[in-house]
Structure 1
Amino acid sequence: MDSPHGAAVKAEDFGLKGPRGWAFQGVGIDAAPGSLIAVEGPSGSGRTCLLLALTGRMKPTRGHAEVGGHHLPKRMTAVRRIAALGPVSGVNDLDQALTVAEQLREGALLQRHYGAPVRAMLRPRAERRAAAEARIAAALEAAGLDLAALPKGERTSVRDLERLEAVRLSVAIALLGSPALLALDDLDLKLSDTERVEAWDLLRSVAARGITVLAVCSEAPADAIVLRTSPKEPDAPEAPDASDTPAVVESDADAEPDEGSGTDTKTDTKTDTKTDTKTDTKTENDDTKGADDALAEAGRA
């Protein structure tokens, strides 16, 4: 396995807003290559969305970021090429029906087809197989996964792995592509205190190889660069822009009345209303009476 140089991760006012509001917003970071970065926060606070945005898998809607010199969101494809995902539920889950050896060979095959240069495909089959086996062995060593220690060795089913063993296997597969950035979701999920220490030691060893590590967790270690996400709150209605605010039209009621005009206005309104009502009613009654008289005269005729 190659020894890649890690990717610097920078962000300013980084945010992503979806149909239900902000997944995360206002994120800022300036991490050097080979850093250990922890995204800390409770479940549902946008941790996974932030991880996927920084690895080029989700498109941000505010601010900007730079990963390995590639700007987001303009160069998401370039970021995906240098950023590998460890365990991320629902995105790159391990295949529970495979054995550990089969899962590793599948990872190496996918890497050879999609990540390796074209000239590597032209090598003799025996040479390609030897190169894949060497890459797998190096990745397993970096991930700290000893196949001989598993219940059935490399034939152990993925579904029978302990949680920390599954994390190590996912990390090994991710490292097959020699990434500059390794990202993991829910690192400390279902791990005991002892296993959490081992998991963070694993990530420190990966970072020590020059690979930048980004891990989502509920509690970050003291030596990590921490990005904290907060639980979602209902969005407050946004204040309208001045250009969208309708002009205020001053009504007669709001105008300052002339001296004595208040009394005259009330008197006139009251008088006009009563007079008009009485006049209209009287006229209507006279018209009705006249119509009745006309009908009566027509009947007599």
Structure 2
Amino acid sequence: MAVDGPEGGAAVGAAGLGVRGPRGWAFRGVGVDAAPGTLVALVGPSGSGRTCLLLALTGRMRPAEGTATVGGLRLPKQMAAVRRISALAHVPGVTDLDPALTVAEHLRERALLQRRFDGGLRGLLRPRSERAATARARIGAALAAAGLDPAALPKGSRTAVRDLERAEALRLSLALALIGRPRLLGVDDTDLKLSEAERTEVWAQLRSLAAAGTTVLAVCSEAPAGADVVVTTMGQHAAPPAGTGTAATSPTDTDKETADALAEARRA
């Protein structure tokens, strides 16, 4: 099983992992072995438990069976600690963007929230100009890592979310998640309703993030050629678990089960 290096991304390991909700199993029998700085594709059709798997591996949903570690932290015992080193992007019902807010407003709000989490009392006592410069630098780095250039948008950073193209909204969500400098980044619906060219660009950006050291978990319907690890979830009426990297689901695994998972993730 992969282990963490001295710094950078978080290693992700799981064996026989399963999540069960009120309507049955969302997924079962998942095995993952991903080194730090790995691009992991979580592949499967809609309703196959892939979003639940993403939430479980980022500490937002409690596993019912199996074992898992993220950055040396055990799940489910250390879910809160896993949440502190991970971030989510583009997860419907959890990280939704406000269509009325502008790109700049979203970024400013996230930077202010992040300051409360990692600044501590000493950070809050720093001069205002210093805090503002730090926030600008962090936002700039996150935008560059996500591949979003506000100057290229119709109204620059004043562009409202409702006026963004789908790929631009995905990149904004990535940038917001990256402001926290997570060791593990979970991205949902990576290739949904994107053109072939857009999918290629998004996957290239995620590979770049992984190459820079962040471990990336990306939900998709089809794995890209450049994925380091592929974990496949299976649709309804799937066969029993067959081994590492495969998740089998019961006939009760439905989109409603995913809705339950999202509700729990929001509470987390």
> What range is the shorter-chain TM-score in?
0.7 to 0.9
Counterpart of 1:148 in structure 2 is 151
Q: Which amino acid aligns with 1:229?
A: T
Deviations 1:32-68 (A, max 9, x none): 0000001000000001000000000000000010000
Counterpart of 1:230 in structure 2 is 234
Give the one of 98, 101, 110 matched to 2:113. 110
Say yes or no: does 1:16 pair with 2:15: no
Q: Secondary structure at the match of 1:98?
A: coil
CA distance in 1, matches of 2:214, 2:15: 22
CA distance in 2, matches of 1:175, 1:116: 16
Deviates more, 1:221-230 or 1:98-107: 221-230
TM-score w.r.t. length of structure 1: 0.76
Give the one of 18, 26, 31 matched to 1:28. 31
Q: Secondary structure at the match of 1:127?
A: helix
Structure 1 residues 128 and 142: alpha-carbon distance in aligned structure 2, compared to 1, 3 A threshold: same
Counterpart of 1:55 in structure 2 is 58
CA distance in 2, matches of 1:87, 1:154: 19
User: Within 5 A, what are the aligned runs for 1:74-153?
Assistant: 74-153=77-156
CA contact 2:15–2:29 (8 Å) conserved in 1 = yes
Say yes or no: does 1:178 pair with 2:181: yes
CA contact 2:148–2:168 (8 Å) conserved in 1 = yes
CA contact 2:207–2:226 (8 Å) conserved in 1 = no
Deviations 1:209-238 (A, max 9, x none): 1000000000001231111101122959xx
Larger Rg: 1
Deviates more, 1:113-122 or 1:182-191: 113-122
Deviations 1:164-205 (A, max 9, x none): 111111111111111000100000011001100001001011
Could you tell me the percent identity over the aligned residues?
Answer: 67
Structure 1 residues 19 and 199: alpha-carbon distance in aligned structure 2, compared to 1, 3 A threshold: same
Q: Secondary structure at the match of 2:119?
A: coil
TM-score w.r.t. length of structure 2: 0.85
CA distance in 1, matches of 2:250, 2:133: 56
State the Cα distance separating 1:116 from its structure 2 match.
3.1
CA contact 2:27–2:250 (8 Å) conserved in 1 = no
Query: Which protein, 1 or 2, shows the higher relative CO under an 8 Å CA cutoff with sep ≥ 6?
Result: 2
State the Cα distance separating 1:208 from its structure 2 match.
1.0
CA contact 2:26–2:250 (8 Å) conserved in 1 = no
Say yes or no: does 1:39 pair with 2:52: no
State the Cα distance separating 1:117 from its structure 2 match.
3.2
Aligned length: 233
Deviates more, 1:110-119 or 1:15-24: 110-119
Q: Which amino acid aligns with 1:6?
A: G
State the Cα distance separating 1:86 from its structure 2 match.
0.9
CA distance in 2, matches of 1:120, 1:163: 36
CA distance in 2, matches of 1:44, 1:117: 41
State the Cα distance separating 1:101 from its structure 2 match.
0.3
Q: Which amino acid aligns with 2:108?
A: R
Q: Secondary structure at the match of 1:108?
A: helix
Structure 1 residues 36 and 134: alpha-carbon distance in aligned structure 2, compared to 1, 3 A threshold: same
User: Within 5 A, what are the aligned runs for 1:151-300?
Assistant: 151-224=154-227, 225-233=229-237, 235=250
CA distance in 1, matches of 2:132, 2:95: 24
CA distance in 2, matches of 1:207, 1:21: 34
Give the RMSD, CA atoms, in angstroms. Answer: 1.2
Q: Secondary structure at the match of 2:84?
A: helix
CA distance in 1, matches of 2:234, 2:185: 23
Give the one of 6, 14, 27 matched to 2:9. 6
Bigger proportion of residues as helix: 1
Q: Which amino acid aligns with 1:227?
A: V
CA distance in 2, matches of 1:230, 1:149: 39
CA distance in 2, matches of 1:153, 1:52: 33
